[in-house]
Structure 1
């Protein structure tokens, strides 16, 4: 089963009351309206794309160690996925799918990181719960997400829905602002140029991680040419 098939099944269960958290019709309408509004804003069209230069970042991992993108790129290509947080089941499925192909990513000489506005403690929980062998980096205030054109502010009615669900982002992220990154995946070449970009304002839609492997193969072939 592909990642998108799993996400579609989860969405169907959630919307039809077959989920531990059962939303009301009004809550579902609010969530769908907010997603459509973000799509209609066309913000995703202004996020960084293939061919752009990736902004350098230095962030802390779940253990508090500093991770620098330039140092990672000195060793090989970098896959950076922007992750909403441990509270988002769609994102967790995405991370699990990335973990499944991590050996193939690393066999191609590439590094893999997830970037989230959540605190290191919540990143540790996400790594533990999803059995991840790659780091989740804490992007306070979604500042790096903003550099990539991904950060957006949640509308007030969606904030109330998230509060009702127990998703208290100011506590989860240790930041009073209700901001998140649009889910996105980037493959960055060793020269810092983005070789692949997938940005989707609909958090229930994600590319299959297997799409990243041909990009890494192409980068390796270009380096050997």
Structure 2
């Protein structure tokens, strides 16, 4: 089953209020409203895209080790996923799909990392629960997400909903701002230029990991 098929199946159960979710319809309507407004804002079109130079970064992994994008790109292409947090089931399914695809990425010498505004303990939980062999880097205050044009301010009504759902982002992220990155996937070439980008303001839509294989093949061919 494809990643998107799994996401669609989860969304159907969630929005139907099936156990264990039992989510009332007004909650679903509020989430739909926020997603529609983010799409209409055009924010995704303003984010970094293929052909742009990727912002460089130095971020800590869950164990406190510094991971530098320049160092990663010396080894090969970089596959980058922006991850909202351990509280997001859609994001967790995406990380699991990326983990399953990692052996294919390895064939092309590509590094795989995720970037999230959440705190290191939450990233450790994400790595453990999703059985990941790649790191989730801590993007404090969402600075790298902002550099890629992905960070957005949540509308007040969505903040209130998250509070009602006990989804306390200021605690998850150690940041009072109530901001998140739009989910995004990038492949960055060794020269720092973005070769592939997929930014979707609808968090229930994610590209297939396999979509990046032809890009990595071309990047490897160019290097050779």
Pairwise TM-score range, normalised by the shorter structure: over 0.9
Equivalent residue, structure 2, for 1:10: 10
Equivalent residue, structure 2, for 1:138: 138
Alignment coverage as a number of residue pairs:
224
Matched position secondary structure for 1:146:
helix
Q: Distance in 2 between matches of 1:161 and 1:107?
A: 43
Note if 1:151 corresponds to 2:160.
Answer: no
Equivalent residue, structure 2, for 1:209: 209
Any stretches of 5+ residues in structure 2 without a counterpart?
Answer: none
TM-score by length of 1: 0.98
Equivalent residue, structure 2, for 1:61: 61
* Alpha-carbon distance, 1:23 to partner: 1.8
Equivalent residue, structure 2, for 1:107: 107
Any stretches of 5+ residues in structure 1 without a counterpart?
Answer: none
Equivalent residue, structure 2, for 1:129: 129
Matched position secondary structure for 1:85:
coil
Equivalent residue, structure 2, for 1:170: 170
Note if 1:51 corresponds to 2:55.
Answer: no
Matched position secondary structure for 2:75:
coil
Q: Distance in 2 between matches of 1:107 and 1:118?
A: 30
Deviating more after overlay: 24-33 vs 184-193:
24-33
Q: Distance in 2 between matches of 1:103 and 1:46?
A: 32
Equivalent residue, structure 2, for 1:200: 200
* Alpha-carbon distance, 1:65 to partner: 0.5
Q: Distance in 1 between matches of 2:193 and 2:80?
A: 13
* Alpha-carbon distance, 1:161 to partner: 1.4
Q: Distance in 1 between matches of 2:72 and 2:214?
A: 20
Note if 1:74 corresponds to 2:74.
Answer: yes
CA RMSD of aligned residues (A): 0.7
* Alpha-carbon distance, 1:22 to partner: 2.1
Q: Structure 1: which 4+ aligned runs deviate by more than 6 Å?
A: none
* Alpha-carbon distance, 1:120 to partner: 0.5
* Alpha-carbon distance, 1:19 to partner: 4.2
Note if 1:190 corresponds to 2:190.
Answer: yes
* Alpha-carbon distance, 1:107 to partner: 1.6
Deviations 1:116-162 (A, max 9, x none): 00000000000000000000000011110000000001111111111
Deviating more after overlay: 38-47 vs 12-21:
12-21
Equivalent residue, structure 1, for 2:84: 84
Equivalent residue, structure 1, for 2:95: 95
Matched position secondary structure for 1:180:
strand
TM-score by length of 2: 0.99
Deviations 1:162-189 (A, max 9, x none): 1122210000000001000000000000
